[in-house]
Structure 1
Amino acid sequence: MDKVFILGNPRSGTSLFRLMLNSHSMINATPECGFLHWWYKKYADWDLSCVTSNRLDEYISDLESSKRIEDWKMDYAQLKEKIVQKNPDNYAKLGEIVYVFYGEQKGKKAKVIADKNNYYINHIDDLNEIWPDAKYILVVRDGRDVACSYLNMETLVTNSPYKPILSTDIKTIANEWTTNNQNILNFSESLHENQFMAIRYEDFVTDSELYLTKVCNFLGLNFEPEMLNYFIKNAKEQDEPLSSIDWKKKTLEKPDKDNIGKYKMEFEKESIDAFNTTANELLKKFNYEI
């Protein structure tokens, strides 16, 4: 089973991208939940004896308590039976069983596990320890549009306990955008060439089929037209959980090209200049105009 982690700065289109991938018949792109990393240190010494001891019950209990795992709606009794049946001899295989089980409950027997979580940005080395052969896709979006999205989140009204807490200071956002993306790029230098790719939000929104075909090739799969209809699947099956849909409503629509470059209309020149000054080098690296 191949694995891929989707990484990116918050508000960069990673959720939209996840849903595009999840619309592929061979990709199981799960809702956001960082259980794989959260329980790694506690269960890193997992071995064959754990299935026949109380450690399995302890793991199931911990897993069920994981933040946002409730969105997966898993049958934990059946999951426990599956783990007993597979009898994994290490933590990496244990985690894989959880992902595969989730996909099977959704009627999918995939070849690729895709896990998207912005939280992972600061824990990529741990992910590499767990699954050293995993691939990574960086989704990058013009940081000034990211800043617009940060500021728009401030006025969002929602009952969800998971609403992101984001900065409203332009220079702080610029620093965060720069640091997060640069950290991912720095990590990528330790990977084999076939383990990493970067894709711009603007590209897969403007020419979805072309760039999703490139992503599929990277994952060893053929492009499927259903990937372009992710918004229909999402609306029908709630692929993006209700707990986060309030700030991800764009995932219920076709790609919105008008969302590109919105900072030019929403920001004064002073704010744009402040962002450009802080993030100048990386904006240029990703071919964004200054």
Structure 2
Amino acid sequence: MFFIFGSARSGTTLLAQVLSAHSKLIVPAETDFIVPANYIYQRVRDAGVRRALLADLIPNTSLFDDSLGRYMSRAEAKALILNGSDDLGELFAELYGLLAQRAGKTLAGDKSPNDLPLFPLLQANGMFKANPKVIHIVRDVRDSGASVLRLGWVDERVLKEFHARNWQNTNLKLSQAMQGDPNYFFLRYEDFATDPRPWCERLCKFLEFDFEPEMLEETRRDTRYDHVAAHSRITSKISGDAIGSYKNYMSEEEAENWTNHAKAALQLYGYA
């Protein structure tokens, strides 16, 4: 399996949809069991108890039915977990292997912005011992933050106080931990949105598949997002129209404040 890591509103859903348009790749809708499963794995020492807890947890998480549940029943997922590997990374590889098989694909990936802040926990639990591919997408925190603000997902005061620092800390931890690793692929949303084809070609090479031009066709993307305000552009042509849109939602003083809070990462990633 492979992972897509990125902060909220950084293009993870778009990237997942583009990759899923490949005849050999599938990334289901966002999941919410990776982090809680890792806490169980970390805190429960008895393998039998741990396995039973994971078998109950994963198929019953709130997002299972719309993600992995589209390709397997809860009972099938539970049976696989009860009879699967004791190693958490290997267990997830088995689970996503079944997903790929059911979807008629070769390789399946996972994406959830909620996983990025807990990357150190996943790493400590050996999630990457088997060297799964890791795709890390980053977007200018001023644009991603303005998007979160516009959607009203987080209290405005909390967002302005903590979002930039959190964006910097979580993304830096991942890029610093995996820098130079052949199984790590970094890209900026802005570069992908402006000129997607060469990045799709590089991603396919990274995942060890041939590039397919159909990946860029809007009609290949899942229509489930058609009526979701947060993803209203998913089935549109990929473009860089939203780059710099934070200027429509932030004053110069606010933008400068965000820049100061995330200066190290903004400089490292070429935004400042």
TM-score normalised by length of structure 1: 0.78
Equivalence map 1:138-149=2 (5 Å): 138-149=136-147
Does residue 174 in structure 1 map to residue 164 in structure 2? yes
Where does residue 111 of structure 2 map in the other structure? 116
CA distance in 1, matches of 2:110, 2:61: 15
For the Cα contact (< 8 Å) 1:46–1:90, is it kept in 2?
no
Where does residue 152 of structure 1 map in the other structure? 150
CA distance in 1, matches of 2:149, 2:198: 31
CA distance in 1, matches of 2:155, 2:178: 26
CA distance in 1, matches of 2:26, 2:252: 43
Where does residue 281 of structure 1 map in the other structure? 264
For the Cα contact (< 8 Å) 1:138–1:198, is it kept in 2?
yes
Q: Say which one has the larger Rg.
A: 1
For the Cα contact (< 8 Å) 1:121–1:183, is it kept in 2?
no
CA distance in 2, matches of 1:262, 1:55: 46
Picking from 212, 219, 231, the partner of 1:224 is 212
Where does residue 204 of structure 1 map in the other structure? 192
CA distance in 1, matches of 2:117, 2:213: 34
CA distance in 1, matches of 2:117, 2:165: 15
CA distance in 2, matches of 1:271, 1:41: 36
Change in Cα spacing, 1:105 to 1:165, as seen in structure 2 (3 Å) is farther
Equivalence map 1:77-92=2 (5 Å): 77-79=75-77, 87-91=83-87, 92=89
Change in Cα spacing, 1:181 to 1:224, as seen in structure 2 (3 Å) is same
SS at match of 1:250: coil
Where does residue 241 of structure 2 map in the other structure? 258
For the Cα contact (< 8 Å) 1:150–1:166, is it kept in 2?
no
For the Cα contact (< 8 Å) 2:96–2:109, is it kept in 1?
no
For the Cα contact (< 8 Å) 2:137–2:187, is it kept in 1?
yes
CA distance in 1, matches of 2:12, 2:101: 23
For the Cα contact (< 8 Å) 1:167–1:173, is it kept in 2?
no
Displacement after TM superposition at 1:23 (Å):
1.2
Does residue 38 in structure 1 map to residue 36 in structure 2? yes
Change in Cα spacing, 1:218 to 1:60, as seen in structure 2 (3 Å) is same
TM-score normalised by length of structure 2: 0.83
Displacement after TM superposition at 1:185 (Å):
1.8
Per-residue displacement from partner, 1:85-126 (whole Å, max 9, x unpaired)? Answer: xx53434443223222233333x231x331111121232234
CA distance in 2, matches of 1:281, 1:55: 40
For the Cα contact (< 8 Å) 2:10–2:144, is it kept in 1?
yes
User: Gaps spanning 5+ residues in structure 1: where?
Assistant: 155-163
Count of aligned residue pairs for this structure pair? 262
SS at match of 1:198: strand
Change in Cα spacing, 1:57 to 1:26, as seen in structure 2 (3 Å) is same
User: Gaps spanning 5+ residues in structure 2: where?
Assistant: none
SS at match of 1:258: coil
RMSD, matched Cα: 2.9
